[in-house]
Amino acid sequence: MELGIAGKQALVCAASKGLGKGCAMALAKEGAMVTILARQRDVLDQTAEEIRNQTGAQVNVVVADITTEEGRDIALAACPAPDILINNAGGPPPGDFRDWRQQHWFEAINGNMYSPIDMIRRTLDGMLERRFGRIVNITSAAVKQPVNALGLSNGARSGLTGFVAGISRDTARHNVTINNLLPGLFDTERGRGAAALIGGGSGLSADEYIETLPAGRLGMIDEFGATCAFLCSQHAAYITGQNILVDGGNYRGTF
Ligand code: NAP
């Protein structure tokens, strides 16, 4: 299927590794001009080269911390008018809520709620004027099915989810959509760590726990990226305000 996004400007946050990288690769394969962002230059440069080699796309790199005002200024100086914005950042640490104080919560809310909201604030009006925009927030399956030890993530990401539920209805008539992608467990550093954490709660090793998943395996970043690219396509203009699980069936609800 031709996704109709060749030549679009895509800004993919937190994209030198993992899910963000999967999204950047998939968008580049569709001919989007991709700007990828992360804090460590060496990995970022390697990833950019890999994407260029595999897709032939134009790939720009931005070294920045997306959870800071300065980092967001740098990101938008490099890609001032994105047609496609993928919001992503590292996740908060696991722990016991009894140990979390104001600073822990402020950091989680800053990284996983406020930062993506601020990126939306800074880019949305341009998309509305240009009559095309696709915003995808990478959140977590924990928004639907909380993991107690990831309480900071459950809480902060739910705040973002509530905000998006409101604003995403105001944009649809301008061909601008905002959706959340909810990863289950993926084959990334963070995903393997989460598998060990969740499995450990039942006395299982990470590999034993992964075997119990409906798919019997972790998700792959190219599978995640392909879903993201479809949401960013011309065909997905009628999908907005949704929370889309990509979890190999691990959420066991009927809906
Ligand atoms: P990952 O493999 O550890 O990759 C994280 C990427 O984000 C790296 O490129 C990292 O590069 C970049 N990054 C982290 N903090 C950043 C910051 N402040 N500013 C800019 N870039 C930053 O992680 P992942 O598995 O792809 O996870 C991505 C997000 O999805 C996380 O929030 C995670 O909690 C969530 N999630 C993941 C899974 C899963 O199974 N993988 C499941 C549910 C939710 P630098 O370190 O160089 O900045």
Other Cβ atoms within 10 Å of 14 Cβ, number = 26
| pLDDT more than 70, % of the chain | 100
Q: For the segment 50-60, what is each residue's pLDDT rounded down to a tens digit?
A: 999 999 999 99
Residues with Cβ within 6 A of ligand 1?
Answer: 14-20, 37-40, 43, 65-67, 88-91, 138, 140-141, 183, 185-186, 188-191, 194
CA distance 63 to 100: 30
Mean pLDDT rounded to a whole number for the chain: 97
Tell which residue, 254, 255, 253, has the closest CA to residue 242.
Answer: 255
Are residues 195 and 150 in contact, defined by beta-carbon separation less than 8 angstroms?
Answer: no
Instruction: Give 172-187 pLDDT, tens digit per residue.
Output: 999 999 999 999 999 9
The pLDDT score that the predictor gives to residue 81 is: 98
Atom 32 (ligand 1) nearest CA: 91
User: Could you tell me the pLDDT band of residue 118, with boundaries at 50, 70 and 90?
Assistant: very high
Rounded CA separation 151/108 (Å) = 10
Question: What is the whole-number distance in angstroms between the Cα of residue 173 and the centre of ligand 1?
Answer: 32
Tell me the pLDDT tens digit for each residue of 9-27.
999 999 999 999 999 999 9
The span from the first CA to the last CA of the chain, in angstroms, equals: 27
Counting Cα atoms < 13 Å in the Cβ hemisphere of 134 gives 28
- Residue 174 gets which letter from DSSP? G
pLDDT in tens, 190-224: 999 999 999 998 999 999 999 999 999 999 999 99
Both tokens of 53, joined, read 């080699």
Per-residue confidence (pLDDT) for residue 24, from 0 to 100: 99
pLDDT at 22: 98
Global pTM?
Answer: 0.98
Order of strands across the sheet with 9-12? 59-63, 33-38, 9-12, 84-87, 133-138, 176-183, 243-246
Distance of CA 214 to the CA centre of its chain: 23
Among protein residues, the one whose CA lies closest to atom 17 of ligand 1: 65
| Residue 11: closest CA among 123, 86, 96 | 86
Q: Are 187 and 221 in contact (CB under 8 A)?
A: yes
| Closest residue by CA, ligand 1 atom 29 | 90
Mutate to test the pocket of ligand 1, among 13, 16, 19 (most ligand atoms within 8 A of CB): 19
Q: What is the pLDDT of residue 164?
A: 98
